[in-house]
Amino acid sequence: MASYILDTNIISRILAKNPEVERHLEEVVAGNATIVLCPVVFYEIRRGLLKRDAARKLEGFQILAQRFRWDEIGREDWHTAAELWAESERQGAPRDDADILIASHALRLGAILVTDNEDHFRHIGVPTENWCRA
């Protein structure tokens, strides 16, 4: 059974009712895939909605989040993230800390990372899908 982690930009599109992204989500759920909510993504979405005082979308996010499995970021993820960060710096391709943490979480779980920013994760080695494309 496949597992997926949805990046912040994908959850934002779900909240905006993007039909292509919603269709992909329903397809994988119907196929018994597991959707894992990464705590970093939860934080990024929640803080953005609170900043904008978007009460209705915040309520929709809370409902959506309940559909997903929560998995904490553990010590192993932090070790992997530090290694990924150092390697990206050595290669001259620094990555955002949030992206590194999301990627390390996906790698530990063997999950596919769904993102519209595939370039952010290409050199990290995490498998990605882009549900924004037809």
Q: Which structural domain, as residue segments, surrounds residue 57? A: 3-129
CATH number of the CATH domain containing 33: 3.40.50.1010
Q: Do the domain assignments include residue 41? A: yes
Q: Do the domain assignments include residue 134? A: no
Distance CA 50, CA 56 (A): 11
Count Cβ atoms within 10 A of the Cβ of residue 89 and give its class: 0-12 exposed, 13-18 middle, 19 or more buried: exposed
113-128, pLDDT tens digit by residue? 999 999 888 888 899 9
1-60, pLDDT tens digit by residue? 899 999 999 999 999 999 999 999 999 999 999 999 999 999 999 999 999 999 999 999
pLDDT at 122 (0 to 100): 81
Q: Do the domain assignments include residue 76? A: yes
Count the domains in the chain.
1
- pTM for the whole thing? 0.94
Per-residue pLDDT at 76 exceeds 80: yes
At 134, is the pLDDT very low, low, confident or very high (cuts 50, 70, 90)? low
